[in-house]
Every structure is written in C-alpha cells, then in structure tokens.
Amino acid sequence: MIGLGKWTGDIETSMISGNAIVEISEKNGEYDFSVTVPSMKTLPNFKVYDIKEEGNCLSGKAEIELMGKMNVDISVEINGDAFTGYIKVPFLGKIEIKNG
C-alpha cells in the first residue's frame, strides 16, 4: 500500500481556502481516507470507495453529502515525500490539493 500517513496540502477555491489534512490509512486490507480542513468548521460527510492503486497514484470514488448525495472522483499522487490530489465535484469542478 502506498501513501499511508498524514499529508498536508493547500486548497485554494472561491469557497475553500487554506490547508487540508488528508490521512490515508489501511482498514481491513482496503484504503481509507479522512480529510480535515482546519479553516472550515464542518466538511460534508463522505465515504470513499472503489480505490485503485496504479504506480504512485490512488484514484477512486467518494459519496459526499452536498445538496443531497453525490458521487465524486478523487485522485492522489505520491512522489516520495510530495503529495498532490484533487476531488472532482459536480457543479463545483475540480478542487485541487497542491504543495503537499
């Protein structure tokens, strides 16, 4: 399994700005993700599933509760001690996590 641990990166959108903390862990042989953004009091609930590992990338889906339940695409790339990623949300577009 790749990328296990806590990663911190920058988010800059019209609705969200600041640091994001992404924790990638293993649970029963599967990847598990948790995300916190300290500058936001609450984040929508989400459940990550269907994670695939290809080289140094993890990609998959998440079900997020934002104006009802939505399915979103997620992707993270690990290069040594560097981390980048995104969440692609309908109507909002791609929310990138940079400089991790």
Cα-trace Rg, the chain: 13
Q: Determine contact, residues 86/74, Cβ cutoff 8 Å.
A: yes
pTM assigned to the model: 0.80
What does the DSSP 8-state code read for residue 66? S
pLDDT digits (tens, 9 = 90+) for 41-58: 777 778 888 899 999 999
What does the DSSP 8-state code read for residue 61? E
Neighbours of 7 (CB within 10 A): 21
pLDDT digits (tens, 9 = 90+) for 47-91: 888 899 999 999 999 888 877 788 889 899 999 889 898 888 777
